[in-house]
Each structure stands twice: as structure tokens, then as C-alpha cells.
A and B are shown apart, each in its own frame.
Chain A
């Protein structure tokens, strides 16, 4: 799964490119001979989300001025963007592998290695990256 841009309205304004914490957005710009592997062919500049790098935080969606970024599954079929009111780590289930903290785009997760980690709710933007990452399913959401 990954987010995908409908290039019909994409003007390549780079809002998603600047918003992406994972470097998953690549720029396509024929005028400057800038290409991105796998990107649709366009005759002027646009943006492309590399599905291999996208972690589905959805920050790009918030920034897009034309609202053309949507979530798709492995087969390219549309998928509803998840919405979370709260995300937390169950201490008893967390093994302290650090993966969630390393990938959190807003540095909201902290803890000691091999000890339970916790999420600072004042920083958390409820993107769900930690939820997808956790190898022990210790991250929960509602």
C-alpha cells in the first residue's frame, strides 16, 4: 500500500515533496531532465510518490493544494485513508526494538532500548506509521 498522486491536476508544486518525512516523493521535471523511475510520463513538472519508500503517514495529503493524493492498495485499488483519534503503546507488549521511534516523523516516541516505549500525545499527529511498523503489534489505535 502507498499514497498515490492523480497527475491530472498535479502541477508539481512540491508541497507533498516538502511535507514527506521519508523522502518518498520524487520530482519529475522534463525541463530540467529530472526523471523518477516508475513515474507516469507527463509533459511538464509534477510529483511522484515512490511506493517503496512511502510509509503512509499521509502528511502529503494535508499539504496538497488540489487534493489529489489518495491511498491505494498493492493492486492500485483505492483504499480509505485511516483516521485515528488516539494511538498508544501497550507497555506489556512492547519489547523496546526502537523501530517505532526511529520512524516517527514528528519524534513523538521515546524510550530506552529493550524497555517499553511511549508516545507523547502532545506531539503525536496520529499518522499511524508506528502502527504499521511494530513487529509485535504492541501499538494500538482507536
Chain B
């Protein structure tokens, strides 16, 4: 018996309106764990090479992991996998909330969709039953309204992954939203869903995942709970009270947060007192805040807001605590001091289904372009977009959401698209492979750049564990590229494993040493230390091979000039530095068992196992 999984994968073809349920094999589960591990294996096998991202053959998957619905702490995430409309390569994005757990309660470990429906539809998975339902009445509507309608339609106990107008309009910044304000954000996954005319995936049910050793699972949870309530992890739990934006001031102080579209630092352009209303504890004063907790999370770092703002634009209900990325991106990076504007624009991105990180970087890029004359006032719908002007920021954000005028034409696909369209403004981009950076400055550590460039999904801060851990260290340490390739590879492997289990990264330190114990308790699978490393490596290699088969090679995910410090910053901890990361990439590739072009060695693939199709494609056998 297969423990820790529902044992079923659903494959839907929206062109024909048909579906097929296939068993999930133990071999696939053991080798690729779940999430984008299984997702990458399936898309590699099922999706022809060089498929256009919006073609009917293009596939989109929603995957849970072994932690989902098991009641393991921090196991509340799910993954969306597809090609990215930004990079044209592999993409995965993940989100918290309750969708992942409910997907499993509906009877499936994952659902993969191909084809294009003639009319808007939503998928309804209910206790093993499958329906493709008309969604004409939902098309064009914002995410929270759609969620409310779906709850009325199928029952309050449902969860849904939904696209907003951004996804319907195939924006390269479109994400998949669930539970009102949780987002599988990065890489433009929502556009792939929109191209299929798939408005939502609705899941509901009460089926249970079989657990291999329930007593051990409970004991592990108790160990974690005890440590967080009474032991060494108490501070982590307290920090959950403020959520990720609680670190805003600290990130400015170590010059990690972006300032003035990444062209300055707090010392240069955003005196600390400018953000007094943005930092905790002031950042939600006057709002009635309530803790938001994802499935089986012992922290609850989210919050929902009830806001009384009769003269402003903030909704009474529906706004939520912006994550740090939005907090910094809409304050220091645009030189804004108005807290309500941060919350309002963050709320808009959720409602319209935009990736907040790409969206806020687009705003700051537009600000700099306007200042430098790259964008004219006419191209901004007549808006005088000046640094730190809350009304102008709100107006441009609204126009982006509503695809109004020139703003709609130029800005709604993100910064890379906009610069390419205009044929200028590339010097103000802050991207790797066309993906906008999260609000952790990669110039702080070249490992952010190295990990960002080697990743099949470039530019992701949550896939840069070494870069993240070097943040705030002295210059010699964080700028060092020597001798760390194998450390980066080990961390990368663990990162792959952890995400595929569907663990939450943000606060996973309390369970860092227990993750494999959790997996064993849930699935009964045991691995030797080497096999553990191989699992993570195999998952990385499958994602990487997806890109290599497409023709990708080292250097194709290009750094924008600014992100490597060209020209260098004039102030702060990274002043005067332009990074060259070739040495680090060389050592990382070696440690990842790749040649210097990023292609896996044949011996690597043979040793990893489970990669026969990749060997055949890349080595013709």
C-alpha cells in the first residue's frame, strides 16, 4: 500500500472535455516526492519539447506533496507547474492556504490540464468525482468575488485556485490565487491557466491521506510545538506575530531592501524616518487585524484586515497584510511613506491576480523610466508619476489592473516585456532571465545571482538558500565565491526536497532537522544520507533537463546590468561593487554534476535513476 499519497493523478483535456485518472506509482513518489518533482517528471514526459506556452499541448499542473493534508506542521503549500511565458522555460510557483490540503481531500494528489476550452470553464473535483463546469459567469471577475460565488455554488467547504483578470488577459505577471490572498505568484503561471480558458480549479471532499505511522507524526508535531511554545524556538513564534513585513526596517539597515528602483540605499534616498508608518509596530495601526493561518501552521504569519477608510479606497474587508516584498517594493523602492497605499496596491494585485513582486518592480521601473525620460507622461495615461506620490502610484496601479490606455499596453506584462517593447529602459531593469527580483538585493551576495542564474526558474529568492544565509554578513564573507559550490549544491538539493514535500520555507527552521523524519512517518519511505541528496538532485536535474531539452544553455538567463551592480551603487554596504559571478557558477555547476554549459553529464543521469527519457533526449540513446 502507498502511504502518504492519495495514489491518484488526474489528467484533463479541456479541448475534448475529457479526463483520465491514473495511479501514482510508488516509484514516482519515492524518486520525485511530490510538488514540482512529480510535476517536472510528468510535464517532461507528457509535453512535447518546444511546445508554445499557450498552445493546446502546453500543460499546467497543480500538485500537492506528501505533507499536504497529513496534518504535519508547515505542510500547507501546493505547487503550480507549467512553462513560463516570461522565460519560455520551466516554471513552478507555490502557495499556502488550504487549497493543497483540500486537493487531497478531494481524492487526488494532483491534476494536470492540457487543451484549450472553447468557453470559460472551471474544474470541480469533489470526493473523486470530476466535472468541467461552465464559468462564463465568472469570466472577467476579480478573484475574491469569484471565490465568494463558488462558495455559494458548490459549498462553503470548498477551496479554489483562481485566476483574475490578469490571467484572463495573459499577462506575463499573472499568478494563481487561492484563499483570497494566497498566491502562487511567480513566472506568469496565471497566464497559462487563462490561455486554457480555465478560470478556477475547485476542490472539495473529505477523503483522507493514509498515514504510515500516525503516532510518530503526532509525536513529531508535539516536539515542534513544545519547542516553539516553551523551548528554543519561542522567538520564531513571536516573530510570526509580525509576519514577513516585520523585517522591513532590518532589511533596509543591511541594504537588502530595494530603494528608488534599486538605484540607491536608505543612506542615499530613503532616510529611515520616512518609513515610520511602514515598519512594525505601526504598519497595521488603525486596522482591525486578525491572524491568518495556513493549513496546520504553528505560527500564523498572515493577517486579514478590516478597515474603516470612508474617504480612501481601501475596502472594508478583503485587504490583508502585505508580505515583506510588497511592503518594501511599495515603500522604499518607490520612495513612498504612505502605508495605506502599500496595503491598497497589494490588495489590487490579489484581486486582479498579479504576481505582487513583478507588479511592484514594474511600478518602480516605470518611475525611474519617467524620471529619466524613457517613458513620457502620455505613455502613462497623463499621470505625473513622481517618486513617492501615493495618488500617482495608485492611479498607475489601477490603470495596470484595468488595462487602461498606454499603461495597459506597455506595463501589464512586466518590466522585461515593457523595455523590449519600447526598445529602451533596459538599464533600469532589475531582472535575471527577465524575472524581476524579490526585494532582497542580489548585489548583497553574488550567491543570490549565482543561484538565481543556475535555477531553472531564474531570479527566485526562495530558491537561493546560500545567498539568503549570507545576507548581512561582512563583505569578505558574503562576496566570496571560492569553495562554496558544494555547500550551495547541498543546500539546493535540500531546497528541492523541502519544496516538493510542500513544506513552507518561511519559518521552517523549527523543523529543519526533522523533515525526513516527517516524511518517514507519513510515507514509510526511508533513505540513506546519499539517497537523500540524490532525491533533491534528481528533482533539480529533471527541472533543468526540461530547459536543456528546449535548447537552454548557460548564459541564456541573462542578468540585467543593474542587478550585477552596473553602474555600482554610490552608497551603502554594496557601494562601488560590480559583480562577476563566473567563478561561482563554475564551482556550482561542478557540484551540481553539470558541465560548464549547464547540461547534465550522462553519467549523472544514469546514477540518479528515473531519468531514462532525459538520457534518450539529450544523449540519443
Nearest residue (CB) in B for A64 is B71
Which of A10, A31, A64, A67 is within 8 Å of B291, CB to CB?
Answer: A31
**A11-B225, A44-B237, A44-B238 known; A65+B300 contact, CB < 8 A:** no
Nearest residue (CB) in A for B226 is A9
Which of B73, B238, B290 is within 8 Å of A65, CB to CB?
Answer: B73
**A29-B291, A32-B290, A65-B73 known; A13+B237 contact, CB < 8 A:** no
Note all chain A residues with C-beta closer than 8 A to B291.
12, 27, 29, 31-32, 45
Note all chain B residues with C-beta closer than 8 A to A65.
71-73, 218, 221, 296
Nearest residue (CB) in A for B292 is A14
**Would you call A45 and B73 a contact (CB within 8 A)?**
no
| Chain A binding surface, main DSSP class | loop
Question: Nearest-CB distance from A120 to chain B (Å)?
Answer: 14
Question: Nearest-CB distance from B506 to chain A (Å)?
Answer: 15
Which of B225, B229, B290, B296 is within 8 Å of A15, CB to CB?
Answer: B296
Question: Nearest-CB distance from B167 to chain A (Å)?
Answer: 28
Which of B206, B241, B296 is within 8 Å of A13, CB to CB?
Answer: B296
Q: Is A63 an interface residue (CB 8 A)?
A: yes
Question: Nearest-CB distance from A132 to chain B (Å)?
Answer: 22
Question: Nearest-CB distance from B445 to chain A (Å)?
Answer: 33
A8 to B225, CA, bound (A): 9
Which of B72, B218, B222, B300 is within 8 Å of A45, CB to CB?
Answer: B300
* Total contacts A-B at CB 8 Å: 59
Question: Nearest-CB distance from B502 to chain A (Å)?
Answer: 15
Q: Is A66 an interface residue (CB 8 A)?
A: yes
**A9-B222, A66-B225 known; A14+B71 contact, CB < 8 A:** no
Q: Is B577 an interface residue (CB 8 A)?
A: no
Note all chain A residues with C-beta closer than 8 A to B241.
31
Q: Is B254 an interface residue (CB 8 A)?
A: no
Question: Nearest-CB distance from B224 to chain A (Å)?
Answer: 8
Note all chain A residues with C-beta closer than 8 A to B226.
8-9
Nearest residue (CB) in B for A17 is B293
Q: Is B289 an interface residue (CB 8 A)?
A: yes
Note all chain B residues with C-beta closer than 8 A to A29.
291
Q: Is B128 an interface residue (CB 8 A)?
A: no
A86 to B456, CA, bound (A): 53
A114 to B295, CA, bound (A): 42
**Would you call A67 and B293 a contact (CB within 8 A)?**
no
**Would you call B300 and A13 a contact (CB within 8 A)?**
yes
List B223-261 residues whose CB lies under 8 Å from chain A: 225-226, 228-229, 237-238, 241
List B118-160 residues whose CB lies under 8 Å from chain A: none
Q: Is B298 an interface residue (CB 8 A)?
A: yes
Nearest residue (CB) in A for B293 is A14
Which of B218, B228, B289 is within 8 Å of A11, CB to CB?
Answer: B228
Note all chain A residues with C-beta closer than 8 A to B290.
32, 34
Given contacts A11-B229, A45-B300, 14 further A-B contacts (CB under 8 A): A8-B226, A9-B221, A9-B226, A11-B228, A12-B298, A13-B293, A15-B296, A31-B291, A32-B303, A34-B290, A44-B229, A65-B296, A66-B221, A67-B222
* A interface residues (Cβ-Cβ under 8 A, vs B): 8-15, 27, 29, 31-32, 34, 44-45, 63-67, 125
The 8 closest A-B pairs by CB, nearest first: A11-B298, A65-B71, A31-B241, A9-B225, A67-B218, A65-B221, A14-B293, A66-B221
Question: Could you give 29 example pairs across A and B, Cβ below 8 Å?
Answer: A8-B226, A9-B221, A9-B225, A9-B229, A11-B73, A11-B228, A11-B298, A11-B299, A12-B293, A13-B296, A13-B297, A13-B300, A14-B293, A15-B295, A27-B291, A31-B241, A32-B289, A44-B229, A44-B237, A45-B300, A63-B71, A65-B72, A65-B73, A65-B218, A65-B296, A66-B218, A66-B225, A67-B218, A67-B222
